[in-house]
């Protein structure tokens, strides 16, 4: 029932965004460039810091095989899969700039919000999601431009590394540390308050969904015919669904020694891409291009789809996780559970 309410909340958020997208768009009343970029993300990491036992967080940091799997998939396997897909799609009617946008999308780092909230909501390895979201975002500052140059041949990239590092410290590192300090010094005090941390996380992700769709509906510079638009949406949806299935199957198989909770974190962290870091990177790298709007479309579509698909999968993955815990083993994932 709770998941039904959350799904309804997603639909309501999208509907409200469509009614008047200027409210939640950049410069609007809600000022998402501040409220989402700084406050929402900071609260998410503070929330994780204050609820996560320090031993779980430090234990997750030492899971190098897990981190290598997630980051390797994000920055190596994912771009390879999309490059192969783009190679096939170049013989279709889809515009070359749109396909280049798919390649750019594949190089993006994970976001620092949605994967954590969804992993926590399902009951997965939240500590691993926190570490990989923060580490992957930092790594992406350097790796993403390199991959774009490697795959598309763009050059003379001038990234504002100092500003991005400051933002990550302000919205990720400091709130996480502050939450950990409170967790270790005032645990009994704040537990008596019965603060609904889980509900706060769900409200934040609904707010992010709303502002994301406001930004998407507000775009007026995108010139794309209806058929190409629909095909791109379907393509991105199927791509995400396929990769989520692939990651959950592979990570929960006997090939790896990951727990079921690890597999949930892997699935969300490995499939999500950052819009917050992605759009500025595209503007910086391709600001000279007349096709910049087409290059941005795949990422602009991918982000809301990943949040909606992630929200819809919460109860399904939660049931899968419970089944595995009951069986005390890790059979291959089957979509019959879904």
Read off the pLDDT of residues 186-196 as tens digits, 9 standing for 90 and up: 877 777 777 88
Architecture of domain 2-217+225-337: Up-down Bundle (1.20)
Q: Give me the pLDDT at residue 223, please.
A: 63
More confident residue, 150 or 190: 150
Structure tokens at 12: 């309501």
pTM over 0.95: no
Q: Name, of 2-11, 101-110, 278-287, the range with top average pLDDT.
A: 101-110
pLDDT beyond 90 at 306 = no
Provide CB contacts within 8 A for 298, sequence distance 6+: 98, 101, 102, 104, 105, 232, 236
248/306 Cα distance (integer angstroms): 16
Sequence ranges of the domains in the chain: 2-217+225-337
CA distance readout (Å), 232 to 18, 96, 103, 281, 333: 20, 13, 13, 21, 27
Q: Which of 85-94, 162-171, 182-191, 226-235 has the lowest mean pLDDT?
A: 162-171
Q: Please, are residues 44 and 240 in contact by the beta-carbon 8 Å criterion?
A: no
Provide CB contacts within 8 A for 222, sequence distance 6+: 293, 294, 296, 297, 300
Q: Give me the pLDDT at residue 329, please.
A: 54
What H or E segment, with its residue span, contains residue 87? helix 78-89
**DSSP string computed for 283-307:** HHHHTT-TTHHHHHHHHHHHHHHHH
Read off the pLDDT of residues 7-39 as tens digits, 9 standing for 90 and up: 677 778 878 988 898 998 888 899 988 888 788
**164 confidence band (pLDDT: 50, 70, 90):** low
308/252 Cα distance (integer angstroms): 23
pLDDT beyond 90 at 242 = yes
Q: Give me the pLDDT at residue 324, please.
A: 82
If you average pLDDT over every residue of the chain, what do you get?
Answer: 81
Mean pLDDT, to the nearest integer, of 291-302?
Answer: 78
């Amino acid at each position: 029932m709770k998941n039904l309410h959350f799904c309804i909340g997603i639909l309501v958020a999208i509907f409200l965004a469509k009614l008047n997208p200027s409210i939640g768009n950049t410069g609007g009343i809600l000022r998402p460039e501040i409220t989402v970029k700084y406050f929402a993300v900071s609260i998410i990491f503070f929330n994780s810091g204050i609820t996560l036992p320090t031993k779980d967080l430090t234990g997750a940091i030492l899971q190098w095989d897990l981190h290598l799997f997630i980051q390797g998939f994000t920055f190596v396997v994912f771009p390879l899969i999309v490059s192969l897909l783009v190679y096939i799609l170049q013989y279709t009617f889809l515009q070359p700039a749109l396909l280049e946008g798919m390649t750019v999308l594949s190089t993006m780092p994970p976001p620092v919000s949605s994967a954590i909230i969804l992993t926590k909501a399902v009951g997965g390895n939240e500590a691993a999601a926190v570490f990989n979201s923060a580490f992957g975002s930092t790594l992406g500052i350097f790796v993403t431009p390199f991959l774009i140059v490697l795959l598309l041949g763009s050059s003379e990239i001038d990234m504002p590394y100092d500003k991005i590092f400051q933002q990550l410290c302000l919205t990720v590192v400091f709130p996480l540390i502050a939450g950990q300090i409170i967790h270790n010094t005032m645990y009994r005090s704040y537990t008596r308050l019965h603060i609904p941390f889980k509900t706060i996380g769900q409200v934040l992700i609904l707010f992010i969904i709303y502002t994301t769709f406001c930004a998407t509906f507000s775009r007026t510079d995108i010139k794309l015919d209806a058929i190409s638009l629909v095909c791109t949406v379907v393509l991105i949806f199927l791509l995400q669904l396929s990769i989520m299935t692939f990651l959950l199957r592979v990570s929960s198989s006997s090939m790896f020694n990951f727990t079921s909770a690890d597999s949930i974190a892997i699935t969300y962290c490995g499939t999500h891409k950052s819009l917050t870091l992605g759009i500025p990177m595209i503007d910086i790298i391709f600001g000279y291009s007349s096709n910049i709007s087409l290059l941005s479309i795949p990422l602009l579509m991918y982000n809301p789809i990943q949040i909606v698909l992630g929200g819809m999968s919460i109860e399904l993955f939660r049931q899968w996780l419970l089944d595995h815990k009951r069986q005390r083993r890790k059979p291959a994932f089957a979509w019959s559970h879904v």
